[in-house]
Amino acid sequence: MKLGFVDGPTSRWSIQHSSKAFNCHRSYPLLCKKSKHNLYHEQHALLQTLRHGGKAARTSFKQQASATPLITGSPPSVVASFSVWSTPSEQPAGALYSAPLCGRPLPLGAHAESALDAVNFSVFSSSATFISLCLFTEPDLQAGIVTAEIPLNPELNRTGDVWHIMVPGLKPGLLYGYRVSGLHQDGPELEGAGHRHDSSCIVLDPLARSIISRRRYGQLGPDLQFGNPGVLGLMRTWPQAAAPVPSVSSQNGGPGSEEAFDWQGDRPLGLAMEKLVIYEMHVRGFTQDSSSRVSSPGTYQGMIEKLDYLRELGVNAVELLPVQEFNELEYYSQIPGSDAYRFNYWGYSTIGYFAPMSRYSDAAAKGKSGQAVQNEFKTLVRECHRRGIEVILDVVFNHTAEGNDMGPTLSFRGLDNRVYYMLAPGGEYYNYSGCGNTFNCNHPVVRQFIVDCLRYWVLEYHVDGFRFDLASIMTRAHSAWHPTYAQDGSTSDSGQEEQAALGAEEGVAWAAEGLERTVDMEGLDPVDQQAASRPMGAMVDPVTGNMTNGGGVPTGTPLSDPPLIDMISEDPILRGTKLIAEAWDCDGLNQVGAFPHYGGRWSEWNGRFRDVVRNFIKGTDGPWAGDFASAICGSPNLYANSQPHETDWWGNNGGRKWRGGRSPSASVNFITAHDGFTLADLVSYNEKHNEANGEDNRDGESHNCSWNCGEEGINVVKWDVKRLRQRQMRNFMVALLVSHGVPMLHMGDEYGHSKGGNNNTYCHDSTLNWLNWSQALEDATGFQRFTKHMVQLRMRHPELQRSQYVTEREIQWHGEQPNTPDWSESSRLVAFSLNDFRGGGLYVAFNTAHTPRLLNLPRWQGIVWQPLVDSSKVAPYDFLTQDKELSETEVIKARVAASMWTAENVYPVLPWSCIVLEAVPEVKAQIQKSDIPGSASAYQ
């Protein structure tokens, strides 16, 4: 092996063997190690000169690039079998670590290598010119300074677009991040659009498994001289964050670790989708109120202490609002006209996709390790499973916390902005999310990142499924940037007039601060031309000038077969998980009923169900009776019918192939959710009242399909208004829980939580959003009891948990007379009977008119209709079942009293009320009645 020089401009290492030249892939770092070591240090110094020397320095270097060192000779045969990644990479040892090794490119992230007492760090960046690993002690992190910095050798610590280094002998308790150099489109030079590298920032590893900055929720960061040179972080609400370096002894809960996690045999529950009753909830809001009386309010630990409440309520799945790392102080500012401050309470602004939200952790608040934070969340999942409750995560892959071009550089932007975000040719951010940026979901690198993330939460944390926020964004075509071949020293990169060739060694620096090299292509074969080219301009349509995905499809176009959704749907690790799409986005794309589901793998939040039920229950004129009947059956008009409505743009175009052929479990039914009115406010307000948000009531949805029952506001005096509201809340709960599909309740609705008419409480960390345990347990109105029994009713009636749509044999529709339904636009009555074909069934009727109705019941041989639910009655007689409120004798007496109606096969339904009757054998009913001494048979 010999080091030589060749004439002519070239910028790649090659190994010459016979007359054939091979590109020197970075898997051969042993070649001429000493010479490369010298070159590395020389070129690192040169990089600094070029970085600060301006155009003159770069021009001078370009003129000197006519002779480039090459390694010639036969490659050593030992390379193929030698563990290249465990060899030294020429950086010296430091006070906190031993001499670094080359490391390996996969897996991405930081992983302990116990055999070498080392940690391997690996991060993707296709456009960085230089990367260094930054290490912190926690005191230094709080002070905004780097404790130690290890520059990565671009020859020895880079494979393809992955930068990697293995560091042995790391002191315990360290944290890490990366300093990344490269192009920035707003830099002093004319540089490539779309690049936003900033070497003044230390960015997070996208695969960081824990993130530490502030340790307590709502706590401001240290008061530093932010903005001064050498001081990291943006402000007290955005102090520098870093990821804990994995402990070699405790990696993955290894043997002998004090932090090893014991799953105690936990396995996936594997509940069928149609069997679920989902409870949408907020981890902090669940126990933050002092009335929770838990040891650690607002934490995973606090939630664990209250899980028995959920088990008693009867739900068997929780859908957690975002628990991936976010900054709750992102919006922190005083709300105008108030002493309160604005928070990012809901958390739909992700920073770290692999990291549990640390400030939801009791362990983090107590100064414990990142592994302890992870273990606390694992304990929550394990304890949910122990109680028969599955865990579904609300995930946000449509945008990140980095926002638009004015936002902070936290991670993805500083590593590879062109790859991770959907960009226009000039580098502007597409904003389908309404939050400033759009994650470039269908880019090959990004979609692999997303799938790896989902796998990680399933394998590492045993979660059971995911709800995807604004999932329609995940179906849009990505933006792509392509290599262009500079001919005769020119470049076609838009807005870039010159490039500097930094070609001494590939990867050390293709450019000073990212200037892309100019290479004379004359005489190079196509393979060498491709090797000598670099990603440059945007892939635009030559006619329209619009950004494309590289395949001719305009960026942002909804794809009929989106690669990301395909990958998730067919992934073997994710095969048993629940996948729920919020099938719309902020640019008007609505895919409800035709989200790409790949054989029914996906369910959808059914916003149509919400609107239909709201309109029918409040008694609105229109086609609501028929639509309500369809909603009761699991919305077959959306999920079974292959013919889209003429107004359904997506269903008539790219979504046509996904229409129809699905089951009721495709529909996740809800009436309220975290954004919008609570159930109590839905029946108490005609208009939103968001003044507390400080935006002059301009924010939030104005079209709520709500009715205040006669008086605006939650604190009414009139008794009749209060009673009507209680009826309406029960009507909504019955409609939700007798409908086919998958019902979802929102936290607090089970007892009637009010937010004072505020339908957009995203910014309030206060009692507006916190569950009030005193109100829930006192249950003054009996609504919490009613909700619990309705959930139990659903659980014990398989005919309500359907995997197939009902047929005319199983369901019959009625009016005031059996089998005579009224589907007119003035109809206020929907009634049906549902046969379970085991000798039982249900009769359900909703009267949303202002007048009572006397209904004739269908006659079933040997069956008596026994009253179970009547929303017009005062608790506890609204639900007749034996519990601590009603004895068995009281239940029987109430049913005997109702037999004056049922004996005649009729039943009255008061205005704005609903009933549920249960089919029981006539003999059983007679036995129950005979248990009351002195009673005469009312069934004879």
191-240 per-position pLDDT tens digit = 689 999 999 999 999 999 999 999 999 999 999 999 999 999 999 999 99
Q: What is the pLDDT of residues 750-806, one digit of tens each?
A: 999 999 999 999 999 999 999 999 999 999 999 999 999 999 999 999 999 999 999
Token duo for residue 527: 């393979």
> Is 701 known to be catalytic?
no
Of how many residues is the chain composed?
A: 940
Assess whether pLDDT exceeds 60 at residue 820: yes
Statement: the pTM of the whole predicted model exceeds 0.85: yes
Token duo for residue 125: 């960046």
Mean pLDDT of 570-586: 97
Assess whether pLDDT exceeds 70 at residue 932: no
Q: What is the pLDDT of residues 132-144, one digit of tens each?
A: 999 999 999 999 9
* φ and ψ at residue 269, rounded to 5 degrees: -75, -30
Mean pLDDT of 469-481: 98
Pairwise CA distance, residues 360 & 375, whole Å: 12
The reported pLDDT for the residue numbered 254 is 42
Mean pLDDT of 412-427: 97
Q: What is the pLDDT of residues 261-271, one digit of tens each?
A: 999 999 999 99
Assess whether pLDDT exceeds 70 at residue 48: no
Q: 452, 513, 516, 582: which one is catalytic?
A: 582
Mean pLDDT of 489-496: 33
More confident residue, 855 or 29: 855
E-state strands within 789-851: 811-814, 829-835, 841-847
Report the mean per-residue pLDDT for the chain: 86
Q: What is the pLDDT of residues 893-911, one digit of tens each?
A: 999 999 999 999 999 999 9
Both ends of the chain: CA-CA distance in Å?
107
Token duo for residue 244: 């804990």
Domains in the chain: ranges and CATH: 109-252 (2.60.40.10), 396-483+538-589 (no CATH), 807-939 (2.60.40.1180)
Q: Which residues contact 167 (CB under 8 A, 6 or more apart)?
A: 97, 98, 100, 101, 118, 119, 121, 133, 150
Going by C-alpha positions, the residue among 713, 660, 645 that lies closest to residue 683 is 713
pLDDT-derived band at 159 (thresholds 50, 70, 90) equals very high
Pairwise CA distance, residues 880 & 896, whole Å: 12
Mean pLDDT of 295-308: 98
Say whether 514 sits in a helix, a strand or coil: helix
> For residue 859, what are the CA distances in angstroms to 378, 817, 904, 906?
53, 11, 10, 10
E-state strands within 546-617: 578-581, 602-605
Q: 469, 505, 870, 918: which one is catalytic?
A: 469
Q: What is the pLDDT of residues 86-105, one digit of tens each?
A: 899 999 999 999 999 999 99
> Is 799 known to be catalytic?
no
Q: Which residues contact 882 (CB under 8 A, 6 or more apart)?
A: 888, 891
Q: What is the pLDDT of residues 614-646, one digit of tens each?
A: 999 999 999 999 999 999 999 999 999 999 999
The reported pLDDT for the residue numbered 348 is 98
The reported pLDDT for the residue numbered 504 is 26
Q: Which residues contact 736 (CB under 8 A, 6 or more apart)?
A: 613, 669, 670, 671, 743, 745
Pairwise CA distance, residues 676 & 669, whole Å: 15
